[in-house]
A and B are shown apart, each in its own frame.
Chain A
Amino acid sequence: MLNDHLTVLPILIPLTGAMITLMLRQTRRLQAAFALGSILMSLTVSAWLTAEVWQGGQPIVFHSGGWSPPFGITLVGDLLSAVFVLMSQLVLTTGIIYAIGSKDAVVKYPTFYPLFLMLAASLTGAILTGDLFNMYVFAELMVISGTVLTAVSDDRYGTEAAYKYFYISLTASFFMLFAIGSLYVCYGTLNMADLAKRIPIDGGQPLLLPGIGFLMATFMVKSAVFPFHFWQPDFHTAAPTSVSAMLSSVVVKLGVYGFLRMTTLLFVLQAPVIRWILVVLGVAGVIFGGLSAVGTHNAKRMLAYSTLAQIGFILIGIGWGTPLAIAAMLMLAGYVASRAPVKSAAFDVVTGVGKSIPAAGVLFLIGSLGLAGIPPTNGFISKMMLFHSGIDAADFGALLLMAIGSLLTLVYTNRAFIRIWWQRPPGSTGAKPTGDHLLAPAILILLVLILGLWAEPLVQVARETSLWLDSPGLYVQAVLGR
């Protein structure tokens, strides 16, 4: 069946692309063109996958190697994973477009594009896989490619930030292995559908709770949830712009995806407690991230803290959040930094740089509206759904804190806008005549606007996905076939 292979192709195409671009490292233009081609191809395939899942109303399952269900590695494309893959491939595509138009020295590094494609392949793989250990392998691949991309950054402190991050995430990977071992010794399987079937039957296993705890700690480190966030601002600030946009918007979503799978598939009985912990930490993250973002002196660092707050919003309401807007904002901050007299996104340096680049200012303003959730953008739609569900649950304390968090978003993004585009530059130094290309953030902002004005499909997909999530039996049945 060709349909089954739709779940493999979004992983296989960037992986193959990574190998081929590695061979093409002598001719840089060909390499970049090939990288763009392969990411566009896998974007097309993931759109096809999403359409196929949406129309079929049935998860698409691929049993690798033809092994019967619980034994081999299965790749599962249900609506949740398909939409996550589509969203990440979209942002990754714009990341490659930004890198092609970028003036950074790092994009001339011969293994930049291979590593970038490897990041795409591993992120897609970790989302599509239906096997816990396979997820660990893909997550590790993702961590290593992200770390190398940061270590070679133009920023002087790239290596230091990468070292810090790698330590934390290697420890988190050990936690994940512990969780895998605990669950395996309890239930004798690592297939997520099989686990979902067995855990409710035999919930009293002694190592089940440690397994859940370790798995939660892993995902919290991966998505930088509030008390595990300390590595994140450093790491995301030091990364090259095109990479940091990916890290802040889609790579951290792997943890969110993991939480969704935990609460709706694996540990349905324990889900209320898990969700309660996530809401508390999410609210703390919204407030802490917002306040820290207000207090920073660097545009990129401000957006890294903003990521922390956005993750908080997502954890409270388990929604999409605003990956498009945050990626666009980071690219714009990088664009401004590339036009600044000294290559830096510190507010002292970029004050007034925007005077000669009004187009970027318009995009930045729309992006900040998207982040804060103001009407003509898709951020408004997702925030409205979030508040609706909060009102339905009569959780007014969390609602109030969320509203404060949204206001903080508006405060710090607009402060940055005013400093960069409205204030006079301190000296006579204006913007440099050339810089990075504006195409990639423009595409993202356009999507933010389109999805805000024509929100019906987005709302429909979100509603349908939550219906799918409420019936984990569908997933289990599709994988195990009975």
Chain B
Amino acid sequence: MELILAIGIGSLFATGIFQLLRRNIIRSAIGLVILMNAVNLFLLCTGAYVGSEPAYISSASGFRSDALPQALILTAIVISMGGTAFVLSMLYIISSRYKTSDLDEVDGLKN
């Protein structure tokens, strides 16, 4: 299980970084979303799935999962969702202003 998750997170991270560095702005936004999922999976690995018992049940037997990483992931998801929405809206404005989806042609700041 650990190995599968590690390989999964690693490949997601690699894909995310690769897409983030692409010139197409849509692709780089997708890279951001993939990266976000890699980070969330990493947080999940810090002990959110190891237990066999639900966290908030009074029976003392069994090993419980840690509830905190789940709370962290929930917060991170909400924040990144806001961030993604904002990125997409700015992307829309920029691509309609410059009439392109190539980041190399968005060069108003160069001069």
| A residues whose Cβ falls under 8 Å from a Cβ of B | 133, 137, 140, 144, 147-148, 151, 156-157, 159-164, 166-167, 170-171, 173-174, 177-178, 180-181, 184-185, 190, 234, 238
Quick check: A159 and B97 within 8 Å, CB to CB?
Answer: yes
- The total of Cβ contacts below 8 Å across the A-B interface reads 75
User: Complex Cα distance A466/B83, Å?
Assistant: 37
Partner of B43, one of A157, A163, A177, A234: A177
| B residues whose Cβ falls under 8 Å from a Cβ of A | 20, 28, 32, 35-36, 39, 42-43, 45-47, 68-69, 72, 75-76, 79-80, 82-83, 86-87, 90-91, 93-94, 97, 106, 108-109
Quick check: A163 and B94 within 8 Å, CB to CB?
Answer: yes
Known: A144-B82, A160-B106, A185-B47. A178 touches B42 (CB 8 A): yes
User: Complex Cα distance A133/B75, Å?
Assistant: 10
Q: Output the least CB separation between B98 and chain A (Å).
A: 8
Chain B residues contacting A184 (CB-CB under 8 Å) are 46, 68-69, 72
User: Complex Cα distance A163/B93, Å?
Assistant: 10
Quick check: A140 and B39 within 8 Å, CB to CB?
Answer: no
Chain A residues contacting B76 (CB-CB under 8 Å) are 177
Known: A157-B109, A161-B109, A174-B35. A181 touches B43 (CB 8 A): yes
Partner of B90, one of A140, A156, A166: A166
Chain A residues contacting B109 (CB-CB under 8 Å) are 157, 160-161, 164, 234, 238
Quick check: A151 and B83 within 8 Å, CB to CB?
Answer: no
Chain A residues contacting B69 (CB-CB under 8 Å) are 181, 184
Chain A residues contacting B90 (CB-CB under 8 Å) are 151, 159, 162-163, 166
User: Complex Cα distance A162/B83, Å?
Assistant: 12
Known: A163-B90, A167-B32. A156 touches B83 (CB 8 A): no
Quick check: A144 and B86 within 8 Å, CB to CB?
Answer: yes
User: Complex Cα distance A369/B94, Å?
Assistant: 40
Chain A residues contacting B32 (CB-CB under 8 Å) are 167, 170-171
